[in-house]
Amino acid sequence: MNTEIIGVVFMFGLTLLLAIPFGRYIAKVYKGEKTLLDFFTPLENAFFRISGINAQREMNWKESMVALLTINLVWFLFAMFVLMVQGWLPMNPDGNPSMTADLAFNTAISFMVNCNLQHYSGETGVTYLSQLICLMFLQFVSAATGLAAAAILFNALKERTTDKLGNFYNYFMKSLTRILLPLSIVVAIIFLFNGMPMTFEGKDTITSMQGDTVQVSTGPVAAFVPIKHLGTNGGGFFGTNSAHPFENPNYFTGIVEMVAQFIVPLAMVFALGFYLNKRKFSWMIFGVMTIGFLCLAIPNMIMEQHGNPAIAHMGVDMSSGAMEGKEVRFGTPASAYWSILTTVISTGSVNSFHDSFMPLSGMNQMLAMMVNGFYGGCGVGLLNFFIFIIIAVFISGLMVGRTPEFLGKKVEAREVKIAVIVTLMSAILIKGGMAIAAYWITADPSLPWLNNPGFHGFSEMLYEFTSANANNGSGFEGLGDNNPFWNISTGIVLILGRFIPIIGPIAIAGILAGKKYIPESAGTLKTDTLTFGVMIFAVIFIVTALSYFPALALGPIAEFFSMH
């Protein structure tokens, strides 16, 4: 057990060591400075010439958001079409059928918004062609969309007055060619050398040690899995995701996958400091995020190691921890660490069965997604955290009797209203969706939604809407979710939960960028200090507790007390 804990500490430390220089590199990419990957420039220019895009034209925040929404609409229509006709298209050796309209609607939206909420099983629900030209494509471009939005935020926070915040298409393309694609190639090579399949053949026939003949799904897994993690997407090639031995062959690949899904969100925090030349500010953000992450991860590791007290009371040895739904090759500490890592950064990939975690562990997984700002997904994690910064700046200004200022710009009523709307909208989407589902299942208990009654069944439904709103994609898989209600309802939550937290922060940043810059004075509120970090953490804690405690009390908290 001690060895497993050392492994977790090693993974976190390794990611941090890699993230700092990588953050410096990302800042150089978005600044337009020279890097080792400038040989991609001719390819980028060729794409812009073919598409007729002027990547040098400066955009304001509204033009950037129009561009972002437009290309996402095109991707959605393309993905939904492919999924609905995939059964007729080539590269389908296993003969998987086309998706129904409601499932295609949910899947196309889910991958477009970087969520990958899968209401299907990868082996039987999609074809190789759909996996590659539809789902893997969306995993790249959805991650690049979030990174490009963050780059616009970086540009808006610079110390000058302007409405020109760079070019969205330029940031988007560089996010693909300079960050996501090179990393994916490196990780794919590592996976190939560790036995991850890369083939276009259909199911393989094997004979077990008992002499049984079994059909085993394979496919181009090694190409798909790297961007699944590097883009904080999380959609599994197989139904069991990274618990599948072909999608995560051994403990070493488990380390690589955990570092891969963590590296870009963490590096973006440091990239902000390098871009603005305010490294102390980025360390403050890192400190708040890390404390929040540890407050969720450490209890989960402890609770899963102690196991289920009800089972222990029956005299069953729980020295290995709560192993139901977990892989022996990873153990409880690494599985618990992954469960929080994948929810705080909105990856949603799993190496264990979240539905089998202890009640309060499941609650922490939901809290990670409800906050959705401790590291967060590619780019959007910083956008979500920026909302908490604006609220903290406003409250701090009221407390000291000064007009709130952030990085030399006055924070006024309009910016605070937008921040509050973004914050409240998450709670409305999660609890509103949950209320409709709870009413529906109460009115018709025969609905085949829940495999677990009572408090845990409530948690399964709450988790689904929380995951959809946070664009996470993991789930309490005891929920029967492949039906019109869940496909359509979560699809709507996915769209709103993705674009409102992008448009809101960018709007605030664009408004601030257009204001007169105020040089720092003796009365300026320092936003790179421990005191301000504590203020942000307090805002996150209070907002989250007030928004979600009643719902959590009806689910995981009630289930916890029922065990005793």
What whole-number distance in Å separates Cα of residue 17 and Cα of residue 38?
24
Beta bridge partners of 410: 405
Integer Cα distance of 183 and 264 in angstroms: 10
Q: For residue 73, what is the enclosing H or E element? A: helix 61-85
CB 361 within 8 A of CB 344: no
**56-60, 444-448, 492-496, 532-536: the lowest-pLDDT one:** 444-448
| 521: DSSP letter | -
The average pLDDT across 483-492 equals 96
Assigned token pair, 208: 């077990």
Task: Give residue-wise pLDDT tens across range 393-431.
Answer: 999 888 877 778 888 889 999 999 999 999 999 999 999
Q: The pTM is what?
A: 0.94
- SS3 of residue 529 by DSSP: coil
Q: Rounded CA gap, 237 and 286, in Å?
A: 32
Per the DSSP assignment, residues forming a β-bridge with 479 are 450
3-state secondary structure of 358: coil
Strand runs labelled E in 192-243: 204-207, 213-216
pLDDT band at 527 (very low <50, low <70, confident <90, very high): confident
Q: Widest CA span of the chain, in angstroms? A: 79
> What tens digit of pLDDT does each residue of 190-215 get?
999 999 999 998 888 888 788 888 88
Instruction: Kindly state the tokens that stand for 432.
Output: 């509103």
Q: What pLDDT does residue 206 have?
A: 83
Give the confidence band of 3 by pLDDT, cuts at 50, 70, 90: confident
pLDDT at 306: 86
Query: Using CA atoms, how far apart are residues 535 and 546, in angstroms rounded to an integer?
Result: 16
R_g over Cα of the chain: 23
| Closest to 114 measured CA to CA, from 77, 146, 152 | 146
Confidence of residue 389 (pLDDT cuts 50, 70, 90): very high
What distance in Å separates the CA atoms of residue 128 and residue 484, rounded to the nearest whole number?
Answer: 25
What is the mean pLDDT of the segment spanning 474-497?
A: 93
**Residue 461 in contact with residue 452, Cβ under 8 Å?**
no
* pLDDT tens-digit readout, 77-110: 999 999 999 999 999 999 999 999 999 999 999 9
Q: Using pLDDT thresholds of 50, 70 and 90, give the confidence band for residue 563.
A: confident
